[in-house]
């Protein structure tokens, strides 16, 4: 196929960017021109990927902005939870109003403001991409694709609760003739599109296709047709330190709280630092805590078996590990699965981390340790169990092998090329009529 121009755009958070990079490089390696578009404060991280970047809109400043908002000014204080799964709670009114709350200044408009929409539309109308690939937590991508006539594909950044709730809303609305005209997401997107002289289309909500790197057993059941792809770890640039090269003399345990914990949420975590140290003190293990050295509280002395090396890419660390303790972020969970490493999860309480932890636990390759139970004693007990009970490692290896059966980003390139051709034929047919 002739060279395509592809725009990749995502939330201005490094964890989100990292999930997009392998696909960007697969397209680049196939001979296509790829540009990563994002807000100015993500551009240093974009530059480190080796792909070309373009800054659009004003800086995101998520940590600063979130810290300055009262709870009721954010989705977290709205009373609506997009990860809600209890059947008794999912009434039509709740589902409709939950989608409305997310498609509002409480959530999606916090992720990308008007300046980002303006900047990306302007760039796309100038550069004329054939394809826009967009992060499911920001809708600048489909709006810009509509404004410049490009095909577009959505990527999930975790389990697809937005798609699940959208599907549920449409199904429930179809059973209520009196509600036929209700659609808060359509109304929200229509207002965005009208600014650029574009009309609403249903595929702008969930993409012309959705690329999903979540393994099938962890994915939310849905009727929507996903385009599966194997998760390929990209944790940012780095070097492998000398201490990581020899075979560990004793079981190595990695601890990570994720990039967003440091960048966006001001190091708020459910796992207490002193509990962690007390849990591993004296154990015959080597602990590698991928935390900033500055996160160590003043006056704390590290046990001899704990190393805090600063940033080291997670993937090469996990290749030497017997277990990982983490928060259920997408990158940490999938990188652990990719390496067949048993997991102890003390989930954050921001999204569906507890559901992810429950699924990992139910699959038998890890332990869900709710924050209320994550004392030094229980963490020590569960760590000893996961290191001595070989069934955890066996099931983690089975999950790793299953992930390897999914199409690679390289395999996905042909699907995306076909999407562009279908879109061109559709546009041509519409123009001819």
According to DSSP, the residues that pair with 153 across neighbouring strands are 133
Distant-in-sequence, close-in-space partners of 284: CB < 8 Å, separation ≥ 6:
250, 251
| Same-domain status, 297 and 275 | yes
| Same-domain status, 367 and 328 | yes
Asked if 145 and 338 count as a contact pair (C-beta separation under 8 A), the reply is no
For residue 118, what are the domain limits?
5-230+407-432
Please tell me the predicted confidence (pLDDT) of residue 259. 60
Residues of the chain below pLDDT 70: 259-270, 429-433
Residue 259 forms part of a structural domain: yes
| Same-domain status, 125 and 267 | no
| Same-domain status, 122 and 271 | no
Please tell me the predicted confidence (pLDDT) of residue 269. 55
| Same-domain status, 218 and 255 | no
Please tell me the predicted confidence (pLDDT) of residue 163. 95
| Same-domain status, 412 and 348 | no
Residue 342 forms part of a structural domain: yes
Residue 236 forms part of a structural domain: no
Residue 104 forms part of a structural domain: yes
Please tell me the predicted confidence (pLDDT) of residue 432. 47
**Per-residue pLDDT reduced to its tens digit, 87-132:** 999 999 999 999 999 999 999 998 899 999 999 999 999 999 999 9
The CATH number of the domain holding residue 311 is 3.40.50.2000
227: exposed, middle or buried (Cβ count in 10 Å: 0-12, 13-18, 19+)? middle
According to DSSP, the residues that pair with 151 across neighbouring strands are 131
Residue 305 forms part of a structural domain: yes
Does residue 4 sit in helix, strand or coil?
coil
Residue 144 forms part of a structural domain: yes
Please tell me the predicted confidence (pLDDT) of residue 297. 77
Q: Around Cβ 34, how many Cβ atoms within 10 Å? A: 24
Residue 235 forms part of a structural domain: no
Distant-in-sequence, close-in-space partners of 180: CB < 8 Å, separation ≥ 6:
173
Asked if 170 and 176 count as a contact pair (C-beta separation under 8 A), the reply is no
**Per-residue pLDDT reduced to its tens digit, 302-339:** 999 999 998 899 999 999 999 999 999 999 999 999 99
Question: Considering its fold, how many domains does the chain have in total?
Answer: 2
| Same-domain status, 279 and 208 | no
| Same-domain status, 212 and 290 | no
Q: Do β-strands 366-368 and 343-345 pair in parallel, antiparallel, or remain unpaired?
A: parallel
Residue 264 forms part of a structural domain: yes
| Same-domain status, 426 and 314 | no
| Same-domain status, 175 and 247 | no
| Same-domain status, 26 and 92 | yes
| Same-domain status, 148 and 206 | yes
Please tell me the predicted confidence (pLDDT) of residue 257. 83
Please tell me the predicted confidence (pLDDT) of residue 223. 79
Please tell me the predicted confidence (pLDDT) of residue 84. 96
Question: What whole-number percentage of the chain has pLDDT above 70?
Answer: 96
Please tell me the predicted confidence (pLDDT) of residue 264. 46
Please tell me the predicted confidence (pLDDT) of residue 429. 61
């Amino acid at each position: 196929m002739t060279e395509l121009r592809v725009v990749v755009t995502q939330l201005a958070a490094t964890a989100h960017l990292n999930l997009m990079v392998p696909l960007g490089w697969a397209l680049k390696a196939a001979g296509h021109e790829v540009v990563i578009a994002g807000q100015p404060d993500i551009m240093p991280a974009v530059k480190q990927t080796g792909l070309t970047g373009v800054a659009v809109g004003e800086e995101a400043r998520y940590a600063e902005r979130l810290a300055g908002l009262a709870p009721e000014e954010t989705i977290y204080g709205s009373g609506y939870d997009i990860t809600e799964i209890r059947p008794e709670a999912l009434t039509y009114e709740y589902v409709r109003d939950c989608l409305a709350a997310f498609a509002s200044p409480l959530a999606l408009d916090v992720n990308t403001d008007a300046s980002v929409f303006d900047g990306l539309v302007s760039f796309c109308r100038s550069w004329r991409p054939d394809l826009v690939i967009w992060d499911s937590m920001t809708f600048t991508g489909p709006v810009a694709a509509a404004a410049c006539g490009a095909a577009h594909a959505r990527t999930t950044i975790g389990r697809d609760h937005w798609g699940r709730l959208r599907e549920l809303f449409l199904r429930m609305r179809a059973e209520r003739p009196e509600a036929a005209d209700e659609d808060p997401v359509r109304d929200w997107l229509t207002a965005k599109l009208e600014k650029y002289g574009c009309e609403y289309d249903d595929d702008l909500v969930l993409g012309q296709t959705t690329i999903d790197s979540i393994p099938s057993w962890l994915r939310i059941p849905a009727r929507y047709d996903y385009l599966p792809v194997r998760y390929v770890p990209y944790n940012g640039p780095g070097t492998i330190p000398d201490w990581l090269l020899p075979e560990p003399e004793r079981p190595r345990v990695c601890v990570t709280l994720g990039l967003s914990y440091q960048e966006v949420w001001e190091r708020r975590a459910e796992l207490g630092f002193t509990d962690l140290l007390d849990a591993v003190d004296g154990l015959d293990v080597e602990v590698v805590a991928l935390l900033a050295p500055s996160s160590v509280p003043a006056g704390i002395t590290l046990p001899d078996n704990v190393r805090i090396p600063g940033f080291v890419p997670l993937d090469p660390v996990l290749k030497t590990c017997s277990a990982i303790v983490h928060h259920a972020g997408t990158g940490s969970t999938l990188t652990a699965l990719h390496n067949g490493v048993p997991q102890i999860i003390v989930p954050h309480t921001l999204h569906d981390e507890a559901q992810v932890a429950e699924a990992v636990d139910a699959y038998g390759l890890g332990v869900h340790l709710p924050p209320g139970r994550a004392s030094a004693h229980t963490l020590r007990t569960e760590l000893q169990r996961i290191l001595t009970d070989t069934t955890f490692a066996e099931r983690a290896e089975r999950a790793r092998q299953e992930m390897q059966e999914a199409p690679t980003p390289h395999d996905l390139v042909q699907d995306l090329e076909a999407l562009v051709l279908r879109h061109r034929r559709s546009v041509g047919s519409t123009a001819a009529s």
